[in-house]
Structure 1
Amino acid sequence: MNMLWESLRSALASIRAHGLRSFLTTLGIIIGVASVIAVVSLIQGLSHSITSQFEGLGGNSLTIQSDTSFQEAMQGKRNRLTLADFEAIVHHIDGISDVTPLFVANIGGDRLLRYQGNTAFTQVLATRGSFADSRQIYPDLGRFLIDGDEASRRRVVVIGEKVRENLKLPEDPLGEFIEMGGEWFKVVGVTEKRGEMFGFSQDDYAIIPFSTGMTAYADPVRQDIDISFTVADIDEIEPVKDRVTALLRQLHGLKPGERNDFRVQTASQLTESFSQVIATVTLVLGGIVSVSLLVGGIGIMNIMLVSVTERTREIGISKALGAKRHHILLQFLIEATVLSLLGGLVGVLIGYGLGFGAAKLLPGFPDAYVPWWAVALAFGFSTLVGIIFGLMPAAKAAKLDPIDALRYE
């Protein structure tokens, strides 16, 4: 233990005595670690934000969407989920609730909304009142869609905050009328503000009753819809998923062995799919910027080799006074590792600042998030670099003959 402490003290004294050279030596490590931490913090911040939104859907929710393969699309075929599929799920699948159909409605063939000479393009969603609970979207002003709106095919609309701003509606727009495709819709609610992501607003949409949207569609039988619902017992998710899959395959006339022309996904599966993509992106980008860590390691090796040459007489004196080969080896190895670790520490701090600064500068980008494993990996890799690239100079110093070292000028 005394030997380790003395070697560490000697390494720190050497680093302090050559401050500028030590800083330049660790610069490659600092840049490499800072780059890795900055990239990982941005990607993980994005992942953390989107995963939180997926989790907000609830672990007992299921979403069904049509699925058209690339080969089918090239042949001009498009698979659809229809209102008949929706009705079949409602009437034949037990243990589910909040069954909600959804599609993007083009009222009058366009997405243009008008109000007193102001216009705005937005996404018009046709759905039912249960959409609020299934997607965790609630009104800040007024109300959401109700069963009466659906039954009477009322021309009412719930808008996002961005639509209100773009159309220059009053702060309290309840009761105002906006035009969509030649039809007038009464504003009955404004949803809670959710902000931006990737520079795109999450509040830029208008929601109308499902039945109202269907009347505006030329061929409602062929309309492609999404279907979402919640399962009463979370332990029954997989059995319910299997029953829904079997029902839809039967309705679509799919033969055994044929691929499904739809996807049934849980919120957790959506999260897992996204996490896999994020993990791959993190690995690729992290690997690219990690190249600079190898460059930093080579810099440490070169400087340590120079240090061995400069301190040849010192090594000779140490050996003449009884220092063993492993004492010299440990001293230089610890010095290289300490240099690398100091570079790693500074790199983590700089990378942390760069990540959060970049996230703030990018419009609508979520806050950076630095996971503990990224910091641990940065320090671990820094230590490994110091050991690997410090081994050759340390071995060279340990092999010096004390007589030749004392004669060195």
Structure 2
Amino acid sequence: MPLFEAVRLALGMIRAQKLKSFFSLLGAFVGVMFLIAVVSIVNGMDRYMKEDFAGKLFGVNTFSVVYRPRVQIGDMSLEERRALRRRPRLKEDDYHAVQAMMGERALVAIESADRVSAYYDGRRSRNVEVRGVSESYFRIRNVEIAQGRPFSAQEVQRGANVVVIGADLQQRFFAGVDPVGRTIRIADDDFRVIGVAKSQGKVFGESLDKFAIAPYTSQMKKYVNPHKVVDAIIVKTDDLPSMRAAMIDVEGLMRTRHHLRPGESNNFHLETADDVLDFWGKISRVLFLALPMLVGISLVVGGIVIMNIMLMAVAERTREI
């Protein structure tokens, strides 16, 4: 049969059997589109985690010294949880020691955080993340300033009650008004706004812009941690090899400061973006293992639809014959 005649006959059958043709196309469409959708979603999440999420939360060539891991991978026994709770907290003296050892090799900053309410002109914003940090924090975390300026080393030294707010607080308190120079109340203390950070967007639907950053020596210290205690010491180097070398040096310093003997496990943790990426790697491996099964189900469903349509067509032809 000539090709043109075959195409004409096929188009004629499609016009004559519109419903059957529709369901045949639907079955194939469901199977193929489900395959494309699942692969696209998993690949998109993988790229997002590696290029965006980890970079925003941890930074490039950056690691943090924390007293226990903030990202838990896998189940932990009750004894392991108790051991983590018994670990000593990091102190400001640890930060100064790390800073002195790193010198010009790296940027070093303190970070402590909690959540409180903020107030301005009779308005209230609940659950604001307040951070007590040192002046290098903005460069390490790549916090860009949209208005005003970050605070200086001198303001940290004298414990000035100055604050850089996120875009969410600006919209809540100062919509259409320049916030720089105005005073907001954070918990029970007044802080002068000196800057507004550029919007950082959202991660998994959670805003990254509902925060207030102040010097760790200011009155913010009352709300983030006990006296002289810090959540994390953040270190940023120029490149990955320098970061690896700095991690070895900082680990040795912290072991000495914590009086750990050779062979004893660390009672602190060096945290990098790799911790999050390792956690995501385990999830993505499960997804990729489940992918063939999910796609297989969709193709089976599509095949059943097409099979039933073909069965109906054969039954009709049998009666005609």
Which sections of structure 2, spanning at least 5 residues, go unmatched? 70-75
Mapped to 2, the partners of 1:234 and 1:257 lie a distance apart of 27
Report the equivalent of 1:82.
Answer: 91
Report the equivalent of 1:119.
Answer: 124
Mapped to 2, the partners of 1:126 and 1:46 lie a distance apart of 32
Report the equivalent of 1:140.
Answer: 146
Report the equivalent of 1:246.
Answer: 252
Mapped to 1, the partners of 2:214 and 2:195 lie a distance apart of 11
Deviations 1:187-222 (A, max 9, x none): 00011123334443221000000222575267324x
Report the equivalent of 2:66.
Answer: 65
After the TM superposition, which residues 330-345 of structure 1 pair with which residues of structure 2 at under 5 Å, given as runs? none
Mapped to 2, the partners of 1:279 and 1:136 lie a distance apart of 31
Q: Which amino acid aligns with 2:202?
A: E
Q: Does structure 1 conserve the Cα–Cα contact (< 8 Å) formed by 2:189 and 2:219?
A: no
Report the equivalent of 2:163.
Answer: 157
1:119 aligns to what SS in structure 2? Answer: strand
Report the equivalent of 2:112.
Answer: 103
Q: 1:269 to 1:96 in 2, by over 3 A?
A: farther
Mapped to 1, the partners of 2:238 and 2:34 lie a distance apart of 46
Q: Which amino acid aligns with 2:96?
A: E
Q: Which amino acid aligns with 2:191?
A: F
Instruction: Indicate the larger mover: 264-273 or 159-168.
Output: 264-273
1:211 aligns to what SS in structure 2? Answer: coil
CA displacement at 1:227 relative to structure 2: 2.0
2:90 aligns to what SS in structure 1? Answer: coil
For the aligned residue pairs, the C-alpha RMSD in angstroms reads 3.8
Q: Which amino acid aligns with 2:226?
A: D
Residue of 195, 200, 205 corresponding to 2:206? 200
Q: 1:208 to 1:22 in 2, by over 3 A?
A: same
Residue of 212, 226, 237 corresponding to 2:232? 226
Q: 1:238 to 1:286 in 2, by over 3 A?
A: same
Report the equivalent of 1:129.
Answer: 135
1:145 aligns to what SS in structure 2? Answer: coil
CA displacement at 1:153 relative to structure 2: 0.5
Q: 1:75 to 1:265 in 2, by over 3 A?
A: closer
Q: Which amino acid aligns with 2:227?
A: P
Question: Relative to total residues, which structure has the larger strand share, 1 or 2?
Answer: 2
Q: Does structure 2 conserve the Cα–Cα contact (< 8 Å) formed by 1:101 and 1:228?
A: yes
Q: Which amino acid aligns with 1:115?
A: Y
Instruction: Indicate the larger mover: 68-77 or 78-87.
Output: 68-77
Q: Which amino acid aligns with 2:61?
A: N
State the structure with more CA Rg.
1
After the TM superposition, which residues 5-404 of structure 1 pair with which residues of structure 2 at under 5 Å, given as runs? 16=14, 18-42=17-41, 44-50=43-49, 51-55=51-55, 59-67=60-68, 71=78, 72-74=80-82, 77-79=85-87, 80-93=89-102, 96-105=105-114, 111-121=116-126, 122-168=128-174, 171-212=177-218, 215-216=221-222, 219-221=226-228, 223-256=229-262, 258-267=264-273, 270-271=276-277, 273-281=279-287, 284=290, 287-288=293-294, 290-304=296-310
Mapped to 1, the partners of 2:311 and 2:25 lie a distance apart of 15
Q: 1:144 to 1:303 in 2, by over 3 A?
A: same
Count of aligned positions: 307
CA displacement at 1:180 relative to structure 2: 1.9
Mapped to 2, the partners of 1:252 and 1:25 lie a distance apart of 70
Identity of aligned residues (%): 28
Deviations 1:298-355 (A, max 9, x none): 333444455567678xxxxxxxxxxxxxxxxxxxxxxxxxxxxxxxxxxxxxxxxxxx
Which sections of structure 1, spanning at least 5 residues, go unmatched? 313-407
**Normalising by the residue count of structure 1, what TM-score does the alignment of the two structures yield?**
0.62
Q: 1:127 to 1:224 in 2, by over 3 A?
A: closer
Q: Does structure 2 conserve the Cα–Cα contact (< 8 Å) formed by 1:214 and 1:220?
A: no
Deviations 1:55-100 (A, max 9, x none): 4665422233332665343578253333233223222346632211
Q: 1:264 to 1:76 in 2, by over 3 A?
A: closer
**Normalising by the residue count of structure 2, what TM-score does the alignment of the two structures yield?**
0.77
CA displacement at 1:155 relative to structure 2: 0.3
Q: Which amino acid aligns with 2:162?
A: V
Mapped to 2, the partners of 1:259 and 1:28 lie a distance apart of 58
